[in-house]
Each structure stands twice: as C-alpha cells, then as structure tokens.
A and B are shown apart, each in its own frame.
Chain A
Amino acid sequence: MARRLQFDIFRYNPQDPLSKPHTDTFHLDETDSMTIYIALNKIREEQDPSLQFDFCCRAGICGACAMVINGRPGLACKTLAKELPGQITLMPLPVFKLVGDLSVDTGTWFRAMNEKVGSWIHTDKTFDPTALEERMDNDRAEEIYELERCVECGCCVASCGTANMREDFLGAAALNRIARFMLDPRDERKNKEYFEVIGTDEGIFGCMGLLACEDVCPKELPLQDELGVLRRKMGWTAVKNLFRRG
C-alpha cells in the first residue's frame, strides 16, 4: 500500500508583517517515482498556493532547487520520496538570504563570487574572426569540463562549516572555479595573481578540511582533491612570496 507522507516545511514570508518563522505540516499519498519536485507542486496546487520554493529545469541541471532535506543539502528535483522515511523535513539553505519559505537568494551570492574570483578568461589577446580556433588537447578540454560542471546550487556553501561561521569565506564553489581557470591554457593569470584572490583565510586557508562540500555536491565534483591541490599550490606561492620579500 502507498505510504502517507508527512512533510514538515519551514515557513516564513519576510514581506508579510504578520508572518513568523514556523513549521507547517502537510500530508500526501505517495505515488510512483514521486520526487520532492512533484510533492511540493502538489502541495502548492492542492493545499497551500502561497508556498514558496524554487524549481527551474527540474532535471538536476540548473541547480535552482537546493534545499535542506532531512538535514542534508541536496537538489529537491532529483530526490525521490521512496529513498526517504515517511516523515520529511524541508528547510531553506542556510548562508544565503531567505526570500521566503524554501526559497533563497543564490543569484546575488554567486554573482558576487564570480566578480571576486574574476570568473572569466583573463587574456591580452583579442578575438580574430578570420582565424582558426586555437588548438587544445582534448584531454585538457575534458579536464576543464569536469570542473566546469558546477551548477552553483549552493549545497557546498550551505554545508560548509567555515561558510556558516564567516560571511566572507569564498567557499568550495569559488575555489573550484579558480581551479578550473588555473587548468585553462587560455587564461594568462599566474599563481601569484590567483594567490591574491584565494591565498587568505577567506580563501583556501579558511578551509577546515571537513569536506562536507564533496559529500553533498549533486554533481559529484572532486572537491576534496581540488581543494588539496589548491592549498598546496597556494602554500608554495606563500613561501615564495616570503623569500621574495626577504
């Protein structure tokens, strides 16, 4: 027999002076292949049309629907009800500013991150429309793509011990982005320039090595390895800087 699921959902509408943070409980009969995406839309359409949450591609591609599901940050669209107990608690991601209920403002955070790390190819060259493209080794292209797969969902940031304690911590998504550009032969930045962005306690040296980021990443990015490599590179750059000063 199908289970009757209980959803305990965080509610708060900051725009409504009468609203106070609280939990609302909803019940639904489980259907085949029910995901949190299907469940939340059913609750909104049949029980409470004011319920706020974010979905976009609903296919695990865009990163819009990250929330805390039974204590763990994850993408709601690819979370199947049948993998969860009958009682499901949904909370908004911490760290990011709350828009309302389960909806948070990741856009502002990630735009600022992209500005901070200079998330683009830094080069003095200009594009020549008449020329062939610059050649690149296919293995290198695939290595770059592997790190480029980040969807900026915010799960790594929400699960990060440092990010939850200090607002200025760059977080795994930003550090991974730097790693992506360091791999890219088209980017002319040197380690010294990267060091200026991430060679601090707000950057790579703020990482406590708890590595929840890797555990919760829905794209299964190799964050542990990347953070390790970055720490080593930046450590060496710091040592070199010391000698240079001396």
Chain B
Amino acid sequence: MTDLLCIGAGLAGERVAVEAASAGFDALCLSIVPPRRSHSSAAQGGMQAALGNCFKGEGDCPDVHFSDTVKGSDWGCDQEVARLFVETAPIAVREMAFWGIPWNRVVPGKSTYFKGGKQFEKIEPAASQGLITARDFGGTANWRTCYTSDGAGHTLLYTMDNKVVELGVRVHDRVEAISLIHDGETCTGVVARCLKTGDLRVYLAKATLIATGGYGRIYRETTNAVINDGGGAIIALNTGIVPLGNPEAIQFHPTGIVPTNILVTEGCRGDGGTLLDVNEERFMDKYEPEKAELASRDVVSRWMTHHIRKGLGVKSPYGDHLWLDIRHLGAQHIKTKLREVEEICNNFLGVDPITQLIPVRPAQHYTMAGVRTNKDGAVYGLKGLFSAGEAACWDMHGFNRLGGNSLAETIVAGKIVGGKVAEFLQGYEVAFDTAVTRAALVKEQERIEGLVQCRDGKENVFEVRNAMQDELMDHVGIFRNGKDLQTAVDNLQEICMRAQQVGLRSNGIGVNPELTMALKIKGMVKLALCAAYAALQRTESRGCHAREDYEARNDRDWLKRTLATWEEGADLPTLNYEPVSPTFELAPGERGYGTCKIISCTENDLGD
C-alpha cells in the first residue's frame, strides 16, 4: 500500500513522484524497464522554455511561447492549460539546472549558424554569459529550446532519477500494470505482472498516476521505443469509464530511417539536405515551389507519402522508401554539425552519409492523443486516478505538438500535477475493497490461463499485431479520407475479433514475451480502432489530421475535443465531444504556415 503509485518512471512519472515525495507522501513507481531506459531518454533536441537569454531568444517571454503553442496545436489545445504550461516552463528548467542538468550555456561574442543551408553570424550578449542558452526549433518565433548537446532527454532523465534515488522513492522496475483496480467510482491501484518472474501482484494506492508515454507502436513505422505500446492507455480504456482525448491526433515525422525508423533530425533539411525519389530526383520543390523540403513536418510527410503512392518510392525488403541526400553538405559540415546523423547512419545502416544516400520515410512520432485529464491532471471519470506526460491528454498540444514541447510538458506537467496529487492526498482516506481487488486479480489470472490454454483460439499474436499495424499505416496514416477510414474501421473490427482469439504457441512460463504481447494485443487493437473511428467522424482537417475529403479546418463545427470511451462488450468506442478550451485568449486564426482553409466560427461559439 502506498500513497501514490506511478505507472511509468519516465520523466513525467518520476517528476510527479518527486513532487509528492517532497511533500512527505510515500511514492512508488512501476516501470516496465529500468527507469533510466524510459523513452524520455531518446528525446535529443531539448525542452522549450522562454528564458530569453541567448541572442536569438531576445524578447522571448511566455506570451510568445503561448502563441506558438496554440498556433502549433491548430487551435486544438486547451488554452488555459497552455498558459499554465508556458508560465511554469522557465521555473521548471531552472529547477532542473539546480538539480544537476548540464544545460548548454551562453558563450558571449561572435559565432556562426546555418539556416536554409546558408551561414549567418550572430553576437551573443556579454551580460548573459553562463546563463542557459537555447537553439532553434520548428514553429517557434524565437530560439527557445534549452538543450544539452544532443542528449537533452538523457540528461533530464538521469537527473530526475538521481533525484528519485536521493529522496528514496522506490522504483519497481520490470513490472507492468495490466489492469486498474476500481469500483466504477474510485481507483485504488493496479494488478501488475512482474517481468522478472511472470508473477502477478496487487499494488494498492490512494492515488494512481498513468505516465506510460505515447503508443506509437500501434503503427508499423514509428520512431518510438518498443515499450511505447499503450499499456497505460489500454488499462484506462478498459475501465469503460475513462475517456481518451482526441485519439485521432497522431503526429508523423518526415525522416525516420529505413528499416529501424530511428529519427534523423530535421537539421539535415534545415542545413540544405534534399529528398530524392527512385530516380534520384528531387520532388519537394515541385509540390511546394516555395518551401520545398523545409515545409512543416506534416506537409512534407504528406507529399512524401503521396510520392511513394505514385510508385516513385525505392523498393526494399522493408517496404518502399525515399532518399535523404546530405552528400553535398560536405564531410566537414556533416562531421561537426550533423555528427549524430553520421553516427546513426554508420551504426544502424552501415551507410556513410558523406558519400551515400540515406533511406528515409515518414514515421509515426507522437501521440497527442491520451488519457483525458483536467488541468490538475485528474483523469475524467475515476477519483484517485491521475495522468501526466505523453500518456495524458492534458491538452496543451491539440492536433500538433511543437518540437521541444514534449520534454517540456513532462517536467512542467509533472511539477504541476505532482503538486495537485499532493493536495489531493492531504487528509484523503480511502477504503480498499477486498472483493473488488480480488475480482480484479482473478480476472487477470483467468485471462492468462485462457491464453496459455488457447481457450478462445490459436491466433498468432504477432500476426494479429502486424495486421493491426499494417491497417493503420495503410488507412489511418498521414492522409486520411472517409473511404480508407471506413475500410480501416471495418478491418480493425475483424482484427479485434482475431485478437480475442489469440492463444500462445509457447508454454507461457515466467517472463514469457509471447504472453506479454498477448495480454495487451486486444487493448492495442482497441486503441487503433479509437484512432480510426474518431478520425472517420472528424470531417475536417486540423494539424496532423489531414482529410483529403474535408480539406478545411472547420472551426464552426469542430472546435471540439473527441472523448472516446469503450463500454464492456462493445465493438466500437463511444465518441463524445467537449469544447476544446474553456477560454480563448488567442481567437482561432491562421497559423502563419502551411496551407490554410478555414471555415470560421462565430463569436458565440467561443463563449465568454
């Protein structure tokens, strides 16, 4: 029994635990991997916070950060939350510095930088010497992204886990929560499976936090770690009560390498790299004469997909792809400014980017979708249940997240939600119902026995997973249309039936990986169905959600957030909608980039 149980020990989970522990509460984290292996560590770029220390950050402030974030979200975010976020971000970054992050610092004097492949000069102010500096990122008006070389996520996670060790917060690593214990009103913990022994355990808690990150692994091509398979979202959805917010909001990044979908940075194109097709010819300049390769992420991803569909992709054993060409930037530039890209190409492809082309294609990157919470991080529908980070739909990203805002969200939301959890725990007592707990445990025991004994069938779990992933790639990807989405919904419903009939081929003893996958496959297909079905219903284009048959952003009818719940026994999610934001500090308008067709709303639609 513990005060706070965090499911997930990445940045968000640990930040919440640290806040609660600092307030004197007992916190315990569960993690399916040792905490420092959480996917937070893979974020390389940095975290946005309006410190305004560096030359290119001059004049920056939370107001500008707010405006960038709301525009980035395509007015799909909760503006009250976005405001809370941008105001807290500078404090959160400085706090992380206090705890030990070796943030890169301002070096006064003259230096050079690249933009659009050209070199420019800048002069850093002497007054800012040694303060935290920032780099440029897409969709921002100022240089605002604080960084530590190419390892911001890594240093943040290590520093956070150091804090966890210092405070004596317990982490049970290699433990996976497989269901929430609740009575329909209050959440009192989880049933979990130990990934060192395979045994089931019950964890009782006054407050439970879902901080399991995103779930890119429902897609075949994703930049996400293999652990990002939706564990937290699945157990929330399985309650039948808790809604997912905007399950159709899924971000793609243009340049994942083929075959492993590891990300190569946007800096390649920023510095003048080009995209080539099977004939080694450029194509982005034909689709987007003005911005070419440097159009926004969603736009470039869309054209790349279009080009592959026209049959101009490069065939490979891992499917069709395109080429990224940075050869003309020269060895010196690549070895200094794009060192990390060179390493990735060498290590994972055996390709030398100085002399060879890099195989790339768009890959799923981020789920703005997540467990819906209020601004305090409290999950809709169950008392005592909270969520933070990519797992949550808090919702500061709306339909498109800005680069640098994901790491920032983990720390900032972690700090804010952690404070609210501590407030919640103050004087809070709950009765642990043994009948409810036992029922939850028995249900999982029976589920495991059923899978091992092939009680419902002998479907191969990997084949079912592959079918689901293919369906999403083919029909719920970068471009969407009613016909494809309907096909996806139909096919995914059939795949969901197959998921129901999965049985193990191996014996299931111990930490059996086939069983681990089998326990979540049906949940994953449900997440896929939520994405497909919500995308089918949303008859507009907003941010990452690009409908070929509804090209305009429709503020008149769709300035709202999807809430998807899944009732026991249903074959589709139930979709409800809520107003996108309680306030409109920034009224809907043009983003200032990308193509822009808007069906406007009236003043009345915005409320007060």
**A-to-B contact residues, CB < 8 Å:** 13-16, 31-33, 35, 37-38, 44-45, 48-52, 54-64, 77-78, 80, 82-83, 99-100, 103, 105-108, 110-111, 114-115, 118-121, 125, 127, 129, 131-138, 140-142, 144-145, 148-149, 151-152, 184, 186-187
Contacts and interface: CB of A to CB of B under 8 A. Distances in A.
Given A15-B198, A38-B259, A133 B42 contact: no
B166 A56 contact: no
A16 B174 contact: no
A100 to B, nearest CB: 6
Contact of A145 (B99, B155, B317, B513): B155
A69 B195 CA distance: 24
A141 B132 CA distance: 10
Nearest to B161: A114
Given A49-B462, A111-B171, A127-B95, A58 B262 contact: yes
Contacts of A125: 98
Given A56-B226, A121-B100, A152-B34, 17 more contacts: A13-B510, A15-B197, A16-B509, A44-B513, A45-B462, A54-B33, A59-B260, A59-B263, A60-B344, A60-B347, A64-B33, A105-B174, A114-B161, A129-B94, A133-B94, A133-B132, A149-B154
Contact of A78 (B100, B347, B507, B511): B347
A70 to B, nearest CB: 17
Interface in B284-321: 316-318
B106 A138 contact: yes
Contacts of B260: 33, 35, 37-38, 58-59, 77
Contact of B348 (A33, A107, A133): A33
Among the interface residues A50, A115, A118, A184, which one has the most CB atoms of the partner chain B within 10 A? Answer: A50
Sorted from nearest, which 7 A-B pairs have the closest CB atoms? Answer: A15-B510, A135-B130, A107-B34, A49-B514, A50-B506, A107-B173, A144-B102
B576 interface: no
Contacts of A99: 174, 195-196, 511
Interface in B123-170: 129-133, 148-149, 151, 154-155, 158, 161-163, 165-166
A57 B225 contact: yes
A59 B42 contact: yes
Contact of B105 (A55, A115, A136, A149): A136
Interface string B317-352: 110000000000000000000000001100111110
Interface of B: 33-39, 41-42, 91, 93-95, 97-100, 102-107, 129-133, 148-149, 151, 154-155, 158, 161-163, 165-166, 171, 173-174, 195-198, 225-227, 259-260, 262-263, 316-318, 343-344, 347-351, 461-462, 504-507, 509-514
Contacts of A145: 102, 148-149, 151, 155
Contact of B149 (A45, A56, A110, A142): A142
Contacts of B317: 31-32
Contacts of A44: 513-514
Nearest to A107: B34
Contact of B95 (A15, A77, A129, A136): A129
Contacts of B99: 120-121, 127
For A15, A99, A107, the residue with the greatest tally of chain B CB atoms inside 10 Å of its CB is A107
A48 B511 contact: no
Nearest to B463: A45
Nearest to A112: B165
Contact of B130 (A59, A136, A144): A136
A44 B510 CA distance: 16
B348 A120 contact: no
Nearest to B91: A129
Nearest to A145: B102
Contacts of A55: 226
B159 to A, nearest CB: 8
Contacts of A138: 104-107, 130, 133
A152 B157 CA distance: 12
